[in-house]
Amino acid sequence: MLLTALPLLFALQAQVRTIAIGADLAADAGIRVGDTVVVSARPGGGTEAAGAGAEGLAGRAVDTVVVSAIVERRADPSEIARNDYRVRLHLDQLQHLIGYGDRVDRFAVGTVDSAATERALGAINDAAFGFQAYRSRDIAAETSTTFEVVSRFHRAIGVITIVASAVFLLCILLLKVEERRRDVGALRLIGLSRWTVFRSVVIEAAFVSVLGSGLGVAVGWITSAAVNAYYQAFYRTPLRFSIVTGDIVLFSVLLSLALGVVAGALAALRLVRTAPLTLIGR
Amino acid sequence: MRSLLAMAALRRHGARTVLAVLGVAVAAAMLLCMVMLSAGLRESFRELLLSRGFQLRLSPRGTLPFDTEATITGATEISRVLRTLPDVTTVSAVLGGQLHVERGGESITSFALGVNPAAQGDYELLSGRDALAPDAMVVNDAFLEATGVQVGDTLDVAAGYNPQLRSYSGERRLVVSGRARFLYLAAGQSAVALRIGTLQAMTGRARNDEVSLFMLRLKDGADVEAVRRWIQGHVPRVDAISTAEAMQRVDERLSYFRQLGFILGAVSLIVGFLLVTTLVTVSVNERVGEIAVMRAMGISRAHVVQQILLEGLAISLAGAVMGLGLGLVTARYLNSILSAFPGLPAAIDFFLFQPRSAWTALGLLVIVGIAAGIYPSWRAATLPIATALHEEAVA
């Protein structure tokens, strides 16, 4: 829509309108606040329309405006992959530019509470001619399919990761227990019960799991910060792509603890079922 | 002999070997999925773009095809100019829009494509006749299901809905002449195709001679980039997009999945490496005395190193073979999740199996298997024989 930045000082007259542009467009096009630019409603049609008198079939095809503000992009997930430049104009200015007349695409209506929302919805849909009112949450649900799909994908990846972690943990604990066969054999020979050995192995496994999950949370937190820094720069958005919440930390620690205890119990069972003399290699 | 000894060492601790193989299998499955994800989306999209032989697409300047409602005006003149280019063999103009069908008291809205049936690249005719007549249209299965009509039926359709006046700019009676599969549409998206002139007249686009897109087929061996540059320089209202550039733009939009594939693939390799290294290192630690005896008997360092490397490699290979099968099943499941991505052509696969993907995954796992054996084999090779034998005797 925005064609070129022009140093047209003579265009700075009282009737020249102002626009706001996105920070990414300003950076890419080298536009600063106070610059005069020409905007057009037709892709690539600005110069052509200007030559034809700047009045096209769809209204004024081009307009000379002053950039009065540079705005940051909103943290809107639905805009992430598009990388579109954003230009904000006054409503009447855009209507005029694109030949829209006194038309708008939508109205946003504020209400005092949910009951008022229902009343307004009913009243508008009963009385209005030619348009339909929707709740914001219904529209949000309708447009959030992309994120639901990505979310389902992430959950599936998460399940695979948990399975891999469980096998890894079980394997490591089994090795750890196997390494101490002689120690455990000696302990059994001096009178420690199977139950005591079992408990000590399980407690040790739980301790290792909690310690490991604590370390994992720290690594996760750092990775999350790195992911946010990278994707925020990549997509030029303040959106947070990865968050580490208390619930997530708690879930991770508890899951790790549960896996550790189960793995420890399985490894300990193998150990206590073996005769002490066999354990020490006799 | 080395293989035999390596297998014997692995069999001695069957449970841990099975667990390690399982761990590597899960890591290998994840790795294969991620290799398929990294390359599959791109390859699948490339195949789709080239499936009808059109190498260039012209969309309104600053937009991607059908990304916005912007159109290219003066289409006939642009089309005439394009046909004068010696390398261009086919110019296919396409207009996108919406058609509404009243059925059972409700309005069914369908995506509509205005095309020249003789030179279109948007659909494959499955049955019936193409929309050659001005009052004919071909439709997809989703449309047939939504409207309950059959090939041969006549329908009243409308376009250019004005919500304020609740009126249409154009209404026609069209015959469903054929059933087609639309290549670039999402699964379940209802669609029809009719002659571009008919749709232009119905939507009010005829006045400015508007189209949404041009697709160009070039001669074999033509320099696509040279033609693209010429068009870009001589037709100011359009962006000329080659297949390579379209893929690059899609890559930019869906780069997240490629990067995710790379990161998770790397994590899988690291997990597999750690697992095999740990297992083989513990195994070597347990066999210090045995290795020292072998060395004292005159077995060479190289023999010991090779035996331990073989242990790591065997675990990795067994895990890889299991993991490749598991990976194909997992990839199919993950693909079924992502195929619900809104707006993406149904023909696009996020996870596309290519033999190259399997070989890549297998090759990486073999490298990891060998690398995982390096540290424990180094430990075994540098073992002080006398000290190890003494400690073993005391123990």
- A31 vs A24: CA distance, rounded Å: 10
Set of chain A residues whose Cβ sits within 8 Å of the Cβ of B62? 1, 43-44
Q: Which amino acid is present at A51?
A: G
What pLDDT shows up at residue A50?
A: 37
What pLDDT shows up at residue A129?
A: 63
Give the mean pLDDT of A195-204: 88
Closest CA to B282 of A215, A41, A172: A172
For residues A9 and A74, the answer to whether their CB atoms sit within 8 Å is no
Structure tokens, B101: 């069908």
Most confidently modeled range among A265-279, B13-27, B126-140: B126-140
- B375 vs B206: CA distance, rounded Å: 74
| C-beta atoms of A153 and B271 within 8 A | no
Q: Which amino acid is present at B143?
A: F
Set of chain A residues whose Cβ sits within 8 Å of the Cβ of B341? 146, 149
Q: Which site among B10, B16, B68 would you substitute to test the A interface, given the most A Cβ atoms closer than 10 Å to its Cβ?
A: B16
CA distance A14 to chain B (A): 31
Pick from B236, B264, B279: CB nearest A157 = B264
| C-beta atoms of B330 and A160 within 8 A | yes
CA distance A34 to chain B (A): 25
In chain B, the percentage of residues whose pLDDT exceeds 70 is 96
| C-beta atoms of A171 and B20 within 8 A | yes
Strand residue runs (E) in chain B: 56-60, 88-103, 106-115, 123-128, 136-139, 154-162, 167-182, 191-195, 213-218, 238-242
CA distance A13 to chain B (A): 30
Q: Which site among B73, B77, B78 would you substitute to test the A interface, given the most A Cβ atoms closer than 10 Å to its Cβ?
A: B73
Q: Which site among A172, A232, A241, A274 would you substitute to test the B interface, given the most B Cβ atoms closer than 10 Å to its Cβ?
A: A172
Model confidence over A84-100: pLDDT tens digits? 788 999 998 888 888 77
What pLDDT shows up at residue A3?
A: 44
For residues B99 and B109, the answer to whether their CB atoms sit within 8 Å is yes
Give the mean pLDDT of A252-277: 85
Set of chain B residues whose Cβ sits within 8 Å of the Cβ of A237? none
- Which band of pLDDT confidence, cut at 50, 70 and 90, is reported for residue A43? low
User: Mean pLDDT in chain B?
Assistant: 84
Compute the C-alpha angle B70/B345/B32, nearest 5°.
135
Pick from A44, A57, A270: CB nearest B61 = A44
**Which of A55-64, B312-321, B341-350 bottoms out in mean pLDDT, i.e. has the lowest?**
A55-64
- B149 vs B17: CA distance, rounded Å: 61
Give the mean pLDDT of A21-36: 89
Model confidence over B173-225: pLDDT tens digits? 999 999 999 988 887 889 999 999 999 988 888 777 889 999 999 998 889 99
Give the mean pLDDT of A40-58: 48
Residues sharing a CB contact under 8 Å with residue A246, sequence separation 6 or more, in sequence order: none
Q: What is the CA radius of gyration of chain A?
A: 33
Asked whether the CA dihedral A18, A21, A23, A26 is positive or negative, the reply is negative
Pick from A57, A164, A168: CB nearest B208 = A57
CA distance B134 to chain A (A): 27
Q: What is the pTM of this model?
A: 0.68
Looking at per-residue pLDDT, the higher value among B299 and B81 belongs to: B81
| C-beta atoms of A129 and B166 within 8 A | yes
| C-beta atoms of A231 and B30 within 8 A | no
Residues sharing a CB contact under 8 Å with residue B278, sequence separation 6 or more, in sequence order: A171, A172, A175
Bridge-partner residues for A77, per DSSP?
A: none
Chain A residues whose C-beta sits inside 8 Å of any chain B C-beta: 1, 42-45, 47-48, 57, 81-83, 103, 129-131, 145-146, 149, 152-153, 156-157, 160-161, 163-164, 167-168, 170-172, 174-175, 178-179, 182, 231, 234, 270
- A267 vs A178: CA distance, rounded Å: 8
- B252 vs B42: CA distance, rounded Å: 11
- A24 vs B147: CA distance, rounded Å: 45
Strand residue runs (E) in chain A: 2-6, 17-22, 36-40, 55-56, 59-60, 62-71, 87-88
Set of chain A residues whose Cβ sits within 8 Å of the Cβ of B275? 168, 171
User: Mean pLDDT in chain A?
Assistant: 79
State which residue of chain A sits closest to B64, comparing Cα positions: A82
Looking at per-residue pLDDT, the higher value among B196 and A104 belongs to: B196
CA distance A83 to chain B (A): 8
- Which band of pLDDT confidence, cut at 50, 70 and 90, is reported for residue B359? confident
| C-beta atoms of B70 and A43 within 8 A | yes
For residues B102 and B156, the answer to whether their CB atoms sit within 8 Å is yes
| C-beta atoms of A146 and B163 within 8 A | no
Most confidently modeled range among A13-27, A102-116, A124-138, B152-166: A102-116
| C-beta atoms of A43 and B30 within 8 A | no
Give the mean pLDDT of A145-156: 82
Q: Number of CB pairs < 8 Å for A and B?
A: 104
- B239 vs B231: CA distance, rounded Å: 8
